[in-house]
Amino acid sequence: MNNDLLLLLEKNARLSCEELAAMLDMDKAAVAAQIKQYEAEGIIRGYAAIIDWERTDREYVSARIELKVTPKKDRGFEELAEQISRYSEVQSLYLMSGGYDLALTIVGKTFKDIASFVAYRLAPMESVQSTATHFILRKYKDKGVVVDDVHRDERRVVL
């Protein structure tokens, strides 16, 4: 599979089929069909903006939680992972190698939201052995974008 189309869309989902076709030296109809297929196959899961919420007045807290888990016989981590991912507060969930098993990021309005999520949702789960919660203080780079960097072109015409 040639991933150029996906790589372009990952960086900028607002390019039109016409622009994508030109950039990739493809037929416009072929680009449109390919995107449809990616969507149908679940390869393209959505088209989201990259937002630096720090610049808005939205109040929120996000945290990264590490879970140590006793894997279930036959189903390993799958069952627990499925359950946790059902909560809408959970932004991402990964199975990790190393000192702990599952890593998740969650977002809440307040510190208390996060605390209750850990205390009432995660900790009581049967196979969860322990939790470690780390609050995110500041994002420097997110989804490949350095959020602190407002683009300013410092180049000048010299010759």
1 binds another protein (CB under 8 A): no
Between the CA of residue 61 and those of 7, 58, 97, 128, 139, what are the distances in Å? 30, 10, 26, 23, 12
25 binds another protein (CB under 8 A): yes
- Between 9 and 61, CB nearer to another protein: 9
152 binds another protein (CB under 8 A): no
Q: Which among 123, 117, 130, 67 has a CA at the least distance from the CA of 95?
A: 67
Residue ranges in 100-129 that form contacts with another protein under rule CB under 8 A: none
In angstroms, rounded to a whole number, what is the distance separating the alpha carbons of residues 53 and 92? 17
SS3 141: strand
**The pair of three-digit structure tokens given for residue 58, joined into one six-digit string:** 């939205």
158 binds another protein (CB under 8 A): yes
138 binds another protein (CB under 8 A): no
35 binds another protein (CB under 8 A): no
What does the binding site for another protein look like in residue numbers (CB under 8 A)?
8, 12, 15, 19, 21-25, 151, 153, 155-159
